Structure 1
Amino acid sequence: MAVVVTEQSIAEWAPNEKVLLDAKSLLRKGALKKLAKNDDGTLAFGHCDGSGSSPYAVSMDLATGTDKPTVRCTCPSRLFPCKHGVALLLAYAQKGALFPVEEPPKDLVQKREKQAQKAAAEKKPAAAAAAPRVNKTALAKKAKEQSDALDTLETFLVDLVSGGLGGLSGKSIEAIEHQAKRMADADMKRTAGVLTRLASYVSGEWLGDEDDDDAPGVRDVARGLGEAQEARIAFTLTQLYTTVRRGKKALEGKFVEEGTTQSEADAQLESILGKAWRLPELREAGYWVKNRRFLELAHERSDDEITQFATAIGFLVDLDDGSVVCEVTSLPFHTLPFTKLRSSRLGTLEIADAALYPGDLVNRRVRWDEKTEGVIRERPREAADYEAVHRHGKPLDPVLRAMRNQLKNPLHPLDAVFLVAAKKFGDVAGELVVEDEAGMRLVLRNMNDGRLPSTDALRHAAAAFGPGTLAVRLYYDLLRRAIYGDPLALFVGDEHLRLRA
C-alpha cells in the first residue's frame, strides 16, 4: 500500500519548522522543474533550483511498505528530508494528479529494487525468530531487588510522615531523591518519577519558588507550605504508600486472588513494577482490537520540567463503541532537536490492528505499529463520522459516576476525558456551567496547570454555534475536593471547534 501524502503528514515528516517554511518558499518561487511520476503514481521525480550551479535531482518513493515515503535529493544538506524534498512532497500533495506520466530514471528504479530486497531480508529473520527465552534467574533477581526497594520505601515513608509536614527539611529532600534513585535502580521508573515530583513539591520548585541565595546544588523546603502545596504532598504520599502495598501483592501474585480484575492487575505491572509492554505481549494477553475507527477530539502537548520529558496526547473517540482512548508519544528533552512529537490528526483513522492497554481507566492507551503496511489509514472526515460523535455524547450522571469510580484508585490519574451531550451553557454565580438534557449541571473551570485557558473560547463558540457535544476533561481539584470540567472541544453539526490551540 502506498503512503498517503497530505499537508499534515508532510508537516510531521519535515525535520523542523524552518525546513517546512523554506520548502513552501521554494514552491511559491517555482523552483521545482520537470516534475513527473511513474504510471502508478508511487514514484515522483524532477529537479529543484538551489544554491548549486545546477538544479538538484529530487525524488520521492511512496511504495516503501512503511508509513513514510523515501525522499532523495542530490543536495549536500544533512537534514532528511531536505527542503527540496519537502517542496516536492508539497507539490505532489497539491497537484500530484496533474504530474505527467514518464518513465522514471533507471537509478531510481534500481534504488527501489535494492530497498525492497533489503526490506524482505529484514523480514525473514523476524518471521522465523522463535519466541524469546525467559530468563527465570534474571526475573527472580529483579523481583528480589524490587521487593527490597519497596521494603526500604515503606520504612522511609513511615519515618517521613511521622515527623509531619512541619518536620520537612533540606535533608528530607535529599532523602526523597535518594529513594528516587533507589527505585530507578530497581527498574521502577514511574515510582522514581513520583518521588522526584514529591521532592519538587516539598522544595516549591513546581511553583518556581527556588531561593537564588541558596548554595549551588542545595535544595531546601519552601518557606511556608501553602494549602495547594500541602494537598499535593499529601496525595503524593498516598500514591507512594499505595504503590508499596500493591507492589508487594503484585510481586506475590495476589492481585487477582483479592478480586482485582486481570486487566487492572496487568496494568499495575506497568505502573508499579515498571513493565514495558511490547506489542506482541499485548496481543498474546488479549489486549488487542481490530478494525477500529477513531476520530481525534483534542490534541495536547505538555513539557514536564520535573521529569524532563515532553509528551503529546491525542484523545480519540472510537466511532463504533464510543470509548475515549488516548494516543501517547513521549520523548526526553534532549532528543527533541533530532525528532518530533506526533502532530494532531485531522482525518478519521481506520486502524486494522491495535493494542488497547490494560487497566480500569476511562481513557486507556491505544497503540499500533505504523511501520506495518496496511495497519493505519487516515481519510477525510465524513458526515457519518460527526453523527457518530454526537451519538456517543453522554448525560452527566454516568460520566460523573465513571469519574468517581476511577478516583477510587490512588494510582489512577485525577482526570479523564469524556464526551458530554450538552443541552445548554450558561453562567451561574460568575462561573461557566454546562447542563444536560436531564437538567444536571457541571461547573467548567480551567485547570491550573499551565495549559491555555479554554472556558472563554467555549463561551464564544457556544454563542456563535450553540450547544452540541462537548469533549471535556473532568478533573478532581485536590484543594476544593470537587470535580470540575475543563472544556477541550465542541462539536456542533459537522463543525469541530478545538478550544485550546
Structure 2
Amino acid sequence: MKKLDKEKILALAPNSSAVANAKKICSSGSFVKLAHSSDDTFYMGECKGSGKSNYIVSADFIDDENPVMRCTCPSRQFPCKHGLALLFEIADGKTFEECEIPEDILAKREKKEKTKAKKEKESAEGTVKEKKAPSKVSKAARTKKINKQIEGLDLIKNISTQLLKLGLSTIGTVSLKEYKDVVKQLGDYYLPGPQILFQKLILEIQEYKEDQDTVHYQQALECLKRLRAIEKKGREYLKEELEKENLEMSDNTLYEDLGGVWKLEQLNDLGLKKENAKLIQLAFEVTYDEASKIYTDYGYWIDIESGEISYTANYRPLSALKYIKQDDSNFSLVTVPTLTYYPGGLNKRIRWASANFEEKDKTSFKKIKTYAKNIEEATKIAKNELKNILTDNHVALLLEFEKIMFVEEEGSKKYILVDKNQKMIELRNNGSKELTKVFYELLPNECLENQVMFVKLFQKDRTIYAEAHSIITDDKIVRLGF
C-alpha cells in the first residue's frame, strides 16, 4: 500500500470545505468499494453520493508527486471531495482489494508518455522550435502600453509634487475627492501597482484627519516616498524597455512594482529556480490590505541546505474569497523538485508547482539554528536592505539570543532580546498591536535562553526593532501568535 502524507492531501485540496466534506465521506463509510493495482500506481473507489448511481473516483500515481484525480460526480472543484476522500482512505491505511488498471487509464498514460518522449527527443537533437519573433502588431501594442504607462507616471509626478508642496495635513474633503479620482485614472494607465499605493496614501490621510494619530501621517509619507521612487525608477526602466528590439523579459523587480504579473514559465526561463530544494516553514500569517481589498496568506520558509529565508504569498481578493483556497500552516519537510524564485532582495518570494511532504528529521532543527545571526550582524544586514525604499519594510532572518528580558520603564512594558555579546534589540509588533506580558509568561522555559528566534526586523524612527514570529530549539519550532 502507498504511504500518503495528509499534509500533501491538504495541499491538493481546493478549499477547507472540500477537506471537511471529504472527511465526512470517510467517517460515514460512503465507499462501497476500494481497489488498487498491484504496482500501487492506481487507486479507485466506488462512493455513494446524491445521484442515482454511485460515483467512480480514481487516483493515478504514475507521477508520484502529481497524482491525477478523476471522478464521475458533477462537481467543478478539483480534486472534488470524493477524490480527497479516496486519498484520505489511502493515508489511513484502509483495506483495498487488488484490481487491474482500466484500459482508458492505460491509454491516457501512453499518450502522455509519447508527448513527453517527443519533447525530450527534440530537446536532445536541438530541434525544438525557436520562439517566434514578436509580430509588428504585438510590438506596436507593447510600445503603446509603455507610452501610456509613462503618461501615468507623469500624472503621479505632478500629483506627488503638489502634495509635497501643499503638505499632506492640508488636504481637505474636496481635495480628497479629487485625489480619489486620480486613483481611478491610474487604472487607465496600466499601473495597478502605483494605483494601490496611491489608494493606501489616501486611506492613511483619511485616518489621520479622523484621529490625528501621527502614525497615519508617517505611513502616508512613506507611501508618498515610495510613489516618488517608483515614478523615477519606473520611468527609467520603461524607457529602457522601449529601446529593446525584442520582448524578452528581464528579472527587474520594477516589472512587478508597476503592476506586472509573473508567470511561472517566465521565471523559470530566466533561470530563477533551484532543483530539489528542501524547505521547512518557520511561520505563517494572514494579512488584509484595505487599499487593494486583498487577503494574503504568507508562509516564511528556510532552505535547510543554504539557510536562505524566502516566503510564499497566496493572494485572495475579497471579491473572490469563495473561489480561492486559503493556505495554511505547514509542519512537514517539504521537498520541491523545482523551486521558482521571484526577482527580489534578501527575502525572495518563492513558488512551486509540486512538492513532496515528509516528517521533519530532528537534526533539521539544529541545522536551522546554525544559520542564525547575532544582533549586531542582523542589524547591519537589515539597515543595508532597508536602504532601498522599494523593498519590503522588513527583513526576515534568524537571531541567536542568550535570554529574553521583560522590563518596565515609566509604566510601559518592553521585551528585550539579548545575545551572547550582550547586544540588545527590542521586540515590537510592526503594527497597532502590542506585545503583552502573557507572551513572555506562556513561553516554555527552554525557549527563554540560548535559542534562536525567527524575526522580521523593521525600522522606525531610525531604530531597528524585531518582530518575533517563532523560536527554534534543538527539537522543535515554537510558533508565536499574538
Q: Which interval holds the TM-score relative to the shorter structure?
A: 0.7 to 0.9
Distance 1:410 1:30 in 2: 57
Matching residue's letter, 1:158? T
Query: 1:97-246 maps to which residues of 2 (within 5 A)?
Result: 98-104=95-101, 106=102, 109-111=103-105, 113-114=107-108, 117=111, 130-134=130-134, 135-204=138-207, 222-223=209-210, 225-246=212-233
Query: 1:76-115 maps to which residues of 2 (within 5 A)?
Result: 77=75, 79-95=77-93, 98-104=95-101, 106=102, 109-111=103-105, 113-114=107-108
Per-residue deviation, 1:121: 5.7
Match of 1:423 in 2: 402
Distance 2:218 2:293 in 1: 23
Matching of residue 475 in structure 1 with residue 458 in structure 2: yes
The answer as to whether partners of 1:250 and 1:265 remain within 8 angstroms in 2 is no
Any stretches of 5+ residues in structure 2 without a counterpart? 123-127, 242-248
Distance 1:76 1:336 in 2: 22
Per-residue deviation, 1:30: 3.1
Per-residue deviation, 1:182: 3.4
Match of 1:363 in 2: 347
Match of 1:260 in 2: none
Per-residue deviation, 1:38: 0.7
Matching of residue 267 in structure 1 with residue 242 in structure 2: no
Match of 1:45 in 2: 44
Q: Percent identity?
A: 24
Q: Secondary structure at the match of 1:410?
A: coil
1:269-327 C-alpha deviation (Å, 9 max, x unpaired)? 332x3343334443444433333222111112222232022211211112122121112
Q: Secondary structure at the match of 2:34?
A: strand
Q: Secondary structure at the match of 2:335?
A: strand
Match of 1:432 in 2: 415
The answer as to whether partners of 2:403 and 2:417 remain within 8 angstroms in 1 is yes
1:178-211 C-alpha deviation (Å, 9 max, x unpaired)? 333333322222111100111111222xxxxxxx
Matching residue's letter, 1:287? L
Matching residue's letter, 1:394? K
The answer as to whether partners of 2:60 and 2:67 remain within 8 angstroms in 1 is no
Coordinate RMSD, CA, aligned: 3.3
1:401-460 C-alpha deviation (Å, 9 max, x unpaired)? 11111221222221121111122112122312211111111111233257x969844542
Distance 1:78 1:279, change over 3 A: closer
Matching residue's letter, 1:110? D
Matching residue's letter, 2:276? N
1:455-498 C-alpha deviation (Å, 9 max, x unpaired)? 84454224254432111112223xx5432222111111121111
Match of 2:443 in 1: 461
Match of 1:497 among 474, 478, 482: 478
Distance 2:3 2:147 in 1: 49
Distance 1:77 1:153 in 2: 47
Match of 1:258 in 2: none
Query: 1:205-354 maps to which residues of 2 (within 5 A)?
Result: 222-223=209-210, 225-253=212-240, 266-271=252-257, 273-354=258-339
Distance 1:341 1:65 in 2: 24
The answer as to whether partners of 1:435 and 1:442 remain within 8 angstroms in 2 is yes
Match of 2:244 in 1: none
Per-residue deviation, 1:147: 2.0
Distance 1:170 1:123 in 2: 65
Match of 2:383 in 1: 404
Q: Secondary structure at the match of 1:341?
A: coil
Distance 1:476 1:112, change over 3 A: farther
The answer as to whether partners of 1:58 and 1:85 remain within 8 angstroms in 2 is yes
Match of 2:23 in 1: 24
Per-residue deviation, 1:351: 2.8
Per-residue deviation, 1:80: 4.3
Per-residue deviation, 1:332: 2.0
Distance 2:84 2:273 in 1: 35
Distance 1:402 1:426 in 2: 24
Match of 1:59 in 2: 58
State the aligned residue count: 461
How does the TM-score come out when normalised to structure 1? 0.82
How does the TM-score come out when normalised to structure 2? 0.85
Matching residue's letter, 2:82? H
Distance 1:313 1:277 in 2: 18
Question: Once structures 1 and 2 are overlaid, which stretch shifts more, 128-137 or 429-438?
Answer: 128-137
Distance 1:196 1:124 in 2: 50
Per-residue deviation, 1:79: 4.6
